[in-house]
């Protein structure tokens, strides 16, 4: 199993600053085969263009670098060894000089409609406001309940769900994977049918083409080449049966340049 060279004492990582992104970073790093000499991970958290500008609608945006540009720029300049992103946020194509080190197995790729406690699809009144910035998700909701109205929503998962509690909206569509990673599976929700966007629930690690040693390490998590073994490991690992080893981390917020 690959491991980092002992000369690499610190591995710099870039990612978005949201609570969900922080959970995703730790999910990836805790899954790495780091024995016997794990490095310290120096994690830099960014507010990307997409995080700062909440006026941009995501409905027709496509696969751009809105949520990755600043992070990947630091990777290309050698200030980070890797960037960790949600797979569905990855721009197509990648910036020149970057390669995909791994695509993780991920978690549940479905979408869920989160409702207030004791609310049901049947109890939603005609014209109830459902928040989503996705045309696809809007159509999925229409498939299970008609005569609703829809509005755009931006912000972190926590900020979106807060609008439900303040009754600014009557339902919020979010990725089930986000609820799982944030420990919010106790929330009252309806699983939506149908296909979701490619890569939902999965994570990616990107780095520079010449970073062969680091690429080899993250390849252990790459579902593209280890599909069967990763799925077998996921099935074999019962909750809390093999708790992750503690990581050596330094974390800091970075002002985008």
The predicted-structure confidence for 142-163, as pLDDT tens digits, reads as follows: 999 999 999 999 999 999 999 9
Locate the domains of the chain by residue range: 10-106+202-254, 111-191
DSSP 19-32: HHHHHHHHHHHHHS
Task: With a cut of 70, list the residues of the chain below it in pLDDT.
Answer: 1-8, 35-36, 227-246, 256-257
Tracing tokens 């690992």 back to the chain, one arrives at 237
CATH for 111-191 (3.40.30.10, 3.40.190.10, 1.10.150.80, 3.20.20.80): 3.40.190.10
Maximum CA pair distance of the chain? 63
Measure the CA–CA gap between 182 and 102, rounded to whole angstroms: 22
Which segments of the chain does DSSP mark as H helices, in order? 19-31, 49-52, 69-76, 135-142, 157-165, 176-181, 212-218, 223-236
Q: Which CATH architecture has domain 10-106+202-254?
A: 3-Layer(aba) Sandwich (3.40)
Per-residue CA distances from 40 to 199, 205, 246 (Å): 29, 17, 11
* 10-106+202-254 and 111-191 have identical folds: yes
Measure the CA–CA gap between 3 and 33, rounded to whole angstroms: 6
Q: What is the pLDDT of residues 234-248, one digit of tens each?
A: 544 444 445 566 678
Measure the CA–CA gap between 15 and 68, rounded to whole angstroms: 8
Identify the pLDDT of residue 247: 76
Taking the mean position of all CA atoms in its chain, how far away is CA 184? 15
Identify the pLDDT of residue 248: 82
């Amino acid at each position: 199993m690959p491991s980092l060279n002992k000369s690499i004492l610190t591995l710099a990582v870039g990612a978005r600053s949201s609570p969900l992104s922080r959970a995703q970073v730790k999910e990836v790093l805790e899954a790495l085969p780091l024995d016997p000499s794990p490095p310290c991970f120096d994690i830099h958290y960014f507010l990307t263009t997409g995080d700062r500008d909440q006026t941009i609608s995501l409905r027709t945006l496509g696969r751009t670098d809105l949520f990755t540009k600043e992070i990947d720029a630091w990777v290309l300049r050698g200030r980070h060894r890797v960037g960790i992103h949600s797979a569905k946020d990855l721009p197509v194509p990648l910036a020149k000089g970057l390669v995909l080190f791994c695509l993780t197995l991920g978690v549940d790729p479905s979408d869920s409609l989160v409702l207030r406690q004791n609310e049901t699809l049947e109890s939603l009144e005609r014209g109830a406001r459902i928040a989503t910035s996705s045309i696809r998700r809007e159509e999925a909701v229409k498939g299970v309940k008609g005569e609703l109205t829809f509005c755009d929503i931006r912000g972190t998962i926590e900020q979106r769900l807060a609008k439900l509690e303040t009754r600014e909206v009557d339902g919020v569509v979010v990725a089930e994977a986000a609820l799982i990673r944030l420990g919010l599976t106790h929330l009252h929700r309806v699983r939506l049918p149908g296909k979701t966007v490619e890569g939902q629930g999965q994570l990616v690690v990107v780095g520079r083409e010449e970073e062969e040693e680091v690429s080899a390490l993250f390849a252990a998590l790459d579902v593209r080449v280890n599909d069967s073994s990763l799925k077998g490991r996921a099935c074999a690992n019962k909750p809390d049966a093999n708790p992750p080893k503690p990581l050596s981390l330094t974390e800091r917020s970075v002002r985008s340049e």
